[in-house]
Amino acid sequence: MKSLWSLLYVVYLVAGVSGTGEVVFLHSPKSIVFKGHEVIDQSLLKQVLASSFGFTISKGSDWNGLVLKDPFHLAEAAVVVVVDGVKSLGSIKGHSFPVISDEDESVGWQKLKEKIEMRYPGFNNTLQRIDLAEVSTASDEETDLLNPTDFPVTYLDDSNTEDVEFLRQLHLLNNLGEKEYVENEDLRDGLPDLYWIVFSGLHPVIDLHGEDSPAADEAKQLLRDAIIHLKKGFINSYDGQVIVAALTSDVSHTRRARQIAEPADLPVNWTKPKNLSKDYSENYPVIFNIILWFMVAFVFSLIAISTAISTMDPGRDSIIYRMTSNRMKKDN
């Protein structure tokens, strides 16, 4: 039995590591402290960022990596750089936590954006999701940031499409950290702002050159420098009241391996069954609580009434006596 539990534990670890990544909090306000290196689900990251804004979190969790020391001086903005195709960026200064990639990054962005909009309806919050790959493929007439700058590269080759695209996205990321882009007096208005930046140019470089190649190491170093530059720009913009995080995930490689492993002789109209739960309305918990507590009150009321009637004294002034006694004959 002991060997069986050990085997199950190993299988669980392998299954969890297969889609893992890392989140590094490079900067946070003094009122927010990160501690330990406990594993965190990616689906919980939006709750952590919402807590840094002072939002009430409805979903409970056993994760204890965040401590709010001062509820009156919380973060005014959150900047998340999402890097796909790599489990870790390597050596970068910040507080890191291993991440289990149980949710797509776009879902986390959308949920957090909706939470902020629900909390501040009609306000002019800055809520931006910037996909650098989409900006990079835009026409030159729309932006002047598309030409890759002359980075001091040694192993990356501008004759490779993957390397050129990486440098283009890196140039865009550098420009996002410039003071003239993020320095704005209207940003510090007391409303939480969210910047969700997706960097997908590193993944093709690693696939082309190999994960442990000098070109991949050089690309990671350039990306780390760009993220640090971005961090400094937003710290200056929000006077330090900002959370800057880098989220990495290697789930794209895991998904591709699973797709290759699927059998090829399946019917044309075959669809992979999904083990999904039913969709519930947002009013479901409200209705459930109304019915639940009504039934609790009804049951206890019924018990109290039954007990009172059963212990009632059947005297002449009691309704029990009037209903159960025979009609008395009238005197002539």
- Determine, yes or no, domain membership for 126: yes
Under the banding of pLDDT at 50, 70 and 90, the label for residue 13 is: very low
My answer on whether 305 and 256 are in the same domain is no
User: Which residue type, as a one-letter code, is found at position 266?
Assistant: L
CA 282 to mean position of chain CA atoms: 19
pLDDT band (50, 70, 90) for residue 148: low
Regarding whether 257 and 124 lie in a shared domain, the answer is yes
Does a structural domain hold residue 2? no
Average confidence (pLDDT) over 137-156: 62
Nearest to 237 by CA among 83, 92, 79: 79
Q: Residues 52, 175: one domain?
A: yes
| ∠ CA 314-320-326, rounded to 5° | 100
Rounded Cα–Cα distance for residues 238 and 191 (Å): 12
Q: Are 246 and 319 members of one domain?
A: no
Of 58-72, 155-169, 176-190, the range with the highest mean pLDDT is 155-169
Residue 149: which pLDDT band, with cuts at 50, 70 and 90?
low
Residue 8 has pLDDT above 60, yes or no: no
Span 53-106, pLDDT tens digits: 988 776 556 788 888 888 888 899 999 999 987 888 888 889 999 999 888 899
Amino acid 327: pLDDT: 55
Share above pLDDT 70 across residues of the chain, in percent, rounded to a whole number = 71
Distance CA 41, CA 263 (A): 30
pTM tops 0.85, yes or no: no
Q: Do 36 and 170 share a domain, yes or no?
A: yes
Is residue 40 assigned to a domain?
yes
| pLDDT > 90: percent of the chain | 42
One-letter amino acid for residue 61 of the chain: S
The reported pLDDT for the residue numbered 145 is: 44
Q: For the chain, how far is it from start to end, CA to CA, in angstroms? A: 92
Q: What's the average model confidence in pLDDT over 294-323?
A: 80
> How far out from the chain centre does Cα 216 lie?
27
Q: Domain check: are 35 and 99 in the same one?
A: yes
pLDDT reported for residue 301: 95
Shared-domain flag, residues 198 and 293: no
* 278 within a domain of the structure (yes/no): no
Q: What is the predicted pLDDT for the residue at 304?
A: 93
Instruction: Give me the chain's average pLDDT, please.
Output: 79
- Cα distance between residue 232 and residue 253, in whole Å: 31
Query: Are 164 and 30 contained in the same domain?
Result: yes
In a domain, 210, yes or no: yes
Which domain does 73 fall in, by range?
Answer: 19-261
200 and 87 in a common domain: yes
Q: What is the mean predicted confidence (pLDDT) over 2-14?
A: 43
Q: Phi and psi dihedrals of 275, rounded to 5?
A: -90, 70
Does 132 share its domain with 220? yes
Secondary structure, 3-state, 59-101: CCCCCCCEEECCCCCCCCEEEEEEEECCCCCCCCCCEEEEEEC
Asked if 299 and 251 sit in the same domain, the reply is: no
| pLDDT confidence tier of residue 205, bands split at 50, 70 and 90 | very high
Q: Residue 10: pLDDT above 70?
A: no
Domain end point (choices 261, 278, 303): 261
Residue 12 lies in a domain: no
Q: Cβ–Cβ contacts within 10 Å for residue 229, how many?
A: 15
Residue that terminates a domain, selected from 227, 261, 295: 261
What type of residue sits at position 241? Q
Average pLDDT over residues 135-148: 56
The answer as to whether 14 is a domain residue is: no
Residue 20 has pLDDT above 80, yes or no: no
Residue 324's pLDDT is: 61
Residue 331's pLDDT band (cuts 50, 70, 90): very low
pLDDT tens-digit readout, 22-42: 999 999 999 999 999 999 999
Of 246, 261, 276, which one is at a domain's C-terminal end? 261
HSE on the CB side for 74, CA within 13 Å?
A: 18
Cβ burial, residue 284 (10 Å; 0-12/13-18/19+)? exposed
- pLDDT tens-digit series, residues 209-261: 998 899 999 999 999 999 999 999 999 889 899 999 999 988 765 544 444 44
CA dihedral of residues 170, 175, 179, 182 (deg, nearest 10)? -100
Considering its fold, how many domains does the chain have in total?
A: 2
Query: Do residues 97 and 144 share a domain?
Result: yes
Alpha helices by DSSP H, listed for 73-213, are: 105-119, 132-136, 161-176, 179-182, 202-209
Task: Say if 201 falls within a structural domain.
Answer: yes
The stretch 123-152 carries a mean pLDDT of 70
